[in-house]
Structure 1
Amino acid sequence: MPSINSVSFDTSKWEAIEQLDDRIIWKNDTADRLSLHFFPIPPDLPAPITNLTKLRNFYRQNVIQAGGGIISIDIVSVKNVSAIKTIFKFPMKSTGMRYIGSLTFPFANFSYVIKIDCPESGMTGVRDSLVHALVIKDFDPKDPFKGWFEDPYDKTRQDAVMWSKSDDEKYDSQFPDHPLSRARKYLTEIPTNLEFTNEVLRAKPF
């Protein structure tokens, strides 16, 4: 059976703060957290990784029950291994949002999850306010927030926490220090040097 040490990636910019048999957690100087999780049991996913619609519904339900909302859920390939790439957001107790990004690698009898946790700090809501000012001309002047929030995959939904226009990836370059921009950057950087042992690569897929 593979182990937590069967996956590696560049953590030179991170400081390890916890290391157990099933997880390793790092932090950096922006209060972000990076973690690697190993689950030595069959994944509890409700559908094959090719059934993206069912997986999106599954993740949406779980995130909503936890008080959050979905930003994106996609299937990607990392070193020829299929993964579920997700980004969620959760309101923080005081103000602002916490953005959780993950790469989940499911196999038949185990799985790995690389998780990024990026909280909003300082003056919150700046990205939302500035982007809204840019696009307000596209909205009904009688209801300037109509259409601002929506589900990225089901426009008929109305949930408590939802994707907003300011969450669009095209604005990341204008707000590189925003936690959502940081989360997306990490999820792009990590796969570039991610390595699996041959034991993992030969394992039966999910």
Structure 2
Amino acid sequence: MPIMFDTSGFQQSGEDMWDSPLTGDRVIRQYTPGVPTIPAPLEDLPALRRDLAEASAEGGCLVEAHVISFAGLPALLRFEKLRHWNRPGGLVYTASVIVPRATGAATVLVLCAENGPTGFRDAMVAARVGIDRMNPPHPYAPHVRGALPYSVADDPQWDAQFPDHPLTRARRWFAELSRTARIDPRFAAQPPFSGPIPDFPGMTPLPDSAPPS
């Protein structure tokens, strides 16, 4: 696999898959050969964010997306939320970083599900900012009306007040994994990703990568 990182605090549950024994959060490492299915060039962040928001709306909501340097290479970082597959009313939050090159993409995906009462973070933030300010138009694509609404409660400014929330955990796990991430020099030496191909698949597929219930 092109990406390597420290898995301390996790237990291996499959090939390139690790689970946290404390929270049930899951980390998955993947490599996909071929031209990466990213909907816009990394250099065009507004278009990339708009297209990602539109794609994510089909099954949930794009929380945020950024182009970053990951282990020294350009990468796409995104946080998303979607409905829990076996817990009515619950949500799952994901953090994924895709490192695209011309011939393939290396990905690290973090899955964090709600373990406690659902909707607690949104309810607490709504009490502070007002219910009428909770769900503004999506900042990347104001025309989008997704399966889940964009929420100001998902802003990173609230993470410190909700340290056990799955979105906070997803951001924290990504920060910890990125500090130790290394890229195989052979993958890094491949030509850079220069543009998208059609048929972007939307949200990260989850059926085979769902965290344990």
- 2:12, 2:136 → 1: CA distance? 37
Residue 58 of structure 2 is aligned to residue 62 of structure 1 = no
- Point out where structure 1 has 5 or more consecutive residues left out of the alignment: 137-143
- Point out where structure 2 has 5 or more consecutive residues left out of the alignment: 194-213
Residue 43 of structure 2 is aligned to residue 47 of structure 1 = no
Superposed counterparts of 1:118-197, under 5 Å: 118-136=112-130, 144-145=131-132, 148-197=135-184
Residue 2 of structure 2 is aligned to residue 10 of structure 1 = no
Cα pair 2:50 2:140 within 8 Å, conserved: no
1:77 corresponds to which letter in structure 2?
A: S
Pick aligned residue for 1:71 from 54, 57, 63: 63
Cα pair 1:71 1:162 within 8 Å, conserved: no
1:10 corresponds to which letter in structure 2?
A: D
**Percentage of identical aligned residues:** 29
SS of alignment partner, residue 132 of structure 2: coil
Cα pair 2:94 2:111 within 8 Å, conserved: yes
Structure-1 residue corresponding to 2:108: 114
Cα pair 1:150 1:164 within 8 Å, conserved: no
Question: Per-residue deviation at 1:156?
Answer: 4.4
Structure-2 residue corresponding to 1:141: none
2:27 corresponds to which letter in structure 1?
A: L
Question: Per-residue deviation at 1:158?
Answer: 3.3
- 1:160, 1:81 → 2: CA distance? 33
Cα shift readout 1:90-127 (whole Å, capped 9, x = no counterpart) = 12241221101100000000111100000012211111
Greater radius of gyration (CA): 1
Residue 81 of structure 2 is aligned to residue 94 of structure 1 = no
Structure-1 residue corresponding to 2:27: 34
TM-score, length of structure 2 as denominator length? 0.83
TM-score, length of structure 1 as denominator length? 0.86
SS of alignment partner, residue 129 of structure 1: helix
Q: How many residues align?
A: 190
